[in-house]
Chain A
Amino acid sequence: MARMKFICDAERCIECNGCVTACKQENEVPWGVNRRRVVTINDGVAGEKSISVACMHCSDAPCMAVCPVDCFYRTEEGVVLHDKDMCIGCGYCFYACPFGAPQFPQAGAFGMRGKMDKCTFCAGGPEKDNSKEEFAKYGSNRLAQGKLPACAEMCSTKALLGGDGDVISDIFRDRALKRGKGAEVWGWGTAYGKPDNPQQQAPKGAKS
């Protein structure tokens, strides 16, 4: 069974925010909610790096662990989704997530929280695939249509890779080998587990 993953290649991301726009448009995400955003490190300084961040669909998801109503579930493809009918908007998942993925619409005064909203890997929710109800709550279900997340497909430099983890990690590995640097993937260890050999040194002269 394929396992869905995102990887963002920091050597290729040009901070165009095309992924953010594609996500907003595809899923009709409401104002104030950003399922995906581009983070730039050392902005304005030579050698700045940008990465596109959203839910990483963690293998051991902390949001799932802390949810008091157990509204999260993982699909057979490893996509972490949640049931908005069960969500009570407590915000525990927001505090637990190391990527700031869970979002809360400001539904009223005094910062009142609504139902949590987050990246679904364009895989919808528990409702019937591609139904009106599913779209209204979770947005597009592109996976059921034989497509991949809009953000990854729309990325002009193919910095943001999404899809079968085996395939995209092979693509990323080829890139890192060809350019001889940039093998590190930010957030990978946090989301998907630590490497088997943490003592392994980066090749000499490598820069990420």
Chain B
Amino acid sequence: MSDLPPILAHWFETRGWRPRRHQLAMLDAARAGKSALLVAPTGAGKTLAGFLPSLVELIEQPTDGLHTLYVSPLKALAVDIQRNLLGPIEEMDLPIRVETRTGDTPSDRKARQRVKPPQMLLTTPESLSLLLSYPDAAQLFANLKTIVIDEVHAFAPSKRGDLLALCLARLQRLAPALRRVALSATVADPDLYRGWLSGDGDLDSVILVEGDPGAEPDIAIMLPQERIPWSGHSGRYAAEQVMRQIEVHKISIIFCNTRSLAELIFQDLWAVNDRHLPIGIHHGSLDIEARRKVEAAMAAGKLRALVATASLDLGVDWGDVDLVIQMGAPKGSSRLLQRIGRANHRLDEPSKALIVPGNRFEYLEARAAVDAVEAGERDPDVFRPGALDVLAQHLMACAAAEPFAQADMLAEVREAAPYATLPEDMFDRVLSFVATGGYALRAYDQYKRLTLDADGLWRVSHPRFITQYRLNAGIIVEAAMLTVRFRNGRSLGKVEEGFAASLAPGDTFFFSGLSLEVEGVKGEDLYVRATSKPARIPTYGGARMPISTNLADRVRHFLHEPEEWPRFPPDVREWLEMQQRRSVLPAPDKLLIETFPREGRHYMVVYSFEGWNAHQSLGMLVTRRMETAGLQPIGFVSSDYAIATYSLKPVTDPRPLFSPDILEHEFVDWVQESALLKRAFREVAVIGGLVERQHPGKRKTGRQVTFSTDLIYDVLRRYEPEHLLLQAAWADAKARMTDVGRLGRLLDTAAERIEHVDLERVSPLAVPVLVLIGRERVAAGTVDDALLIEAEALVAEAMCGDSDINHVA
């Protein structure tokens, strides 16, 4: 095993520490010149393990140029790591410069970094991509030795991961000796990440280093003093119990699945906060200043509890947190572990966590998550082929740096794992898209962004296109947002434009822990004042995380295996026993469908367990088929576990409704009509560089994207339905918005798995699904017209007798 240089060994000693086994293993990998993937739980000293080889090299062979790049998915995290890395460097008085470079770095410092780079640069995938777009990139990175990618599990299988993989391929060309290092939380299949990191799929080139497992976490399910509710999915009923837990712990983090829920829980907790303990709130919509303030208060130990969302899933290490509470279903075992990891960063002591299930199904899900964690089971990661819009952006970055030959560039792109099997003709189409928009029927020959020069190299045809690229580069496309402000100009954060549009002056909503009354919208701002009136629920931040396949499988087994039930609380047991008596318990290999009449309607409940996204899509498709079959469907609701439709006529044979050809026919029609594809198109149009977010000299926001991408979409679909960007939008819509993979699996096997039970009345299992009815809306093709007609009638009624207007007609 490697020896540490004396100064480092001494530093460890004075702290009373010893380098951990995996930290030294990372050093061995470096000395062998190998790339490495470190998989270790939170609190294992991962960050130091990632940097240790670089520190050793820089101590043993001091160099002046850029030696190590550190890439993290979060800007804030880079700041945090800087603190943790700078500490040791300062204490050892090492002549190593460390700097950060993100979108927030002032431009004069960015310019200086290119001229006189630090030995270690901390950055994000987007900033790295931009750095590679400068002509001096080749020189800057020529002696780069190591790239360290932190929290790789959080973004490798995403578009940001695609961009980073392309950057890796480029860096490797500029610095052939470059070693790739990635740090990851525990994942289901480390080999997938080794493959991603290697680029060429050669697992042997990436050494796997596994950290020692920490102490088993201590996870309990919090049961209510009374019964577990039938409905709801927030655990709001438990505010009082949660407050008592906060009181007896040092610092608690309360995780909520959505931003709106976080606001509600925060209000509920304050209502029972008799001792006035300092409690804060943190989520992605809040103003950056507000978030930084709360983070600083946490770091200083000034808060007793923090209500948070996924915005805290990653990063920031607070040490003193001794309890994590998950409100509502955990959705996945990896996600739960990640959150639990926020508590207690000492490996030898167990982290303590509580799950508060929102309803009976969620109790089963919580139980499944606890079992999965105990069994060491993680959620599977799904890697997909690299996104074409990201490739387009990368090609523009490369061209901005220096002219390239088409064949060389294709070879380089294929060295990025997500693009390893990219067909040549697809690459050519992406290149043609970057150069001229890639239109088949009519070309912009006179306006080219890239031109092929006499030497056969592609080069940017005018410097202004480089400026445009740099202004608009980036992978995260925000929905159009409005800033929430007080009259005095103070900003509280942002809400989605769609949510703001649903508010009228006088309406109230919870935000940033306050009850706010709307005064009005002006330009990009939603003006509000604080109010004591009770608030309605904000519905911004609508993304929902579906239950993972492994937890869904466990829940299915619970339902069918009564020998598991003694572990459950009495009311859950009773609920399942009643289901067994009144109907059937769904077997894991069956698809249970119940039909029953109720209050003049006919219900069909499908227990498919494929998660909310897939169910939402399936509900749309099945009700369409019911419409065609003359069953007169009125609507449907879906949860992570089941779908319920209701119609005027009964479903007597559900089989034809669930045949796999639904994906070939109705699915395509539905997605094309729905807003899903337009939303996906907006994203690929921005990332791919078809439309600008900002024009040089003009500040634009998401709201003011130069064009309505919906209109572009309509024209393109009519004249060139095979266009690259429409294909990219399709791929996105299928993968992320409809969960078509899970939907397909469900439908492919439905015919032989369906177990149809016709009942006289509602079954116990159906209750948690049915109580959702009335909260979700049904959308159909011509529904907008119908809504407009209805709205006109209402308005006419309210406004009749307005003489100034009537004579227009």
A and B held together in a complex? no
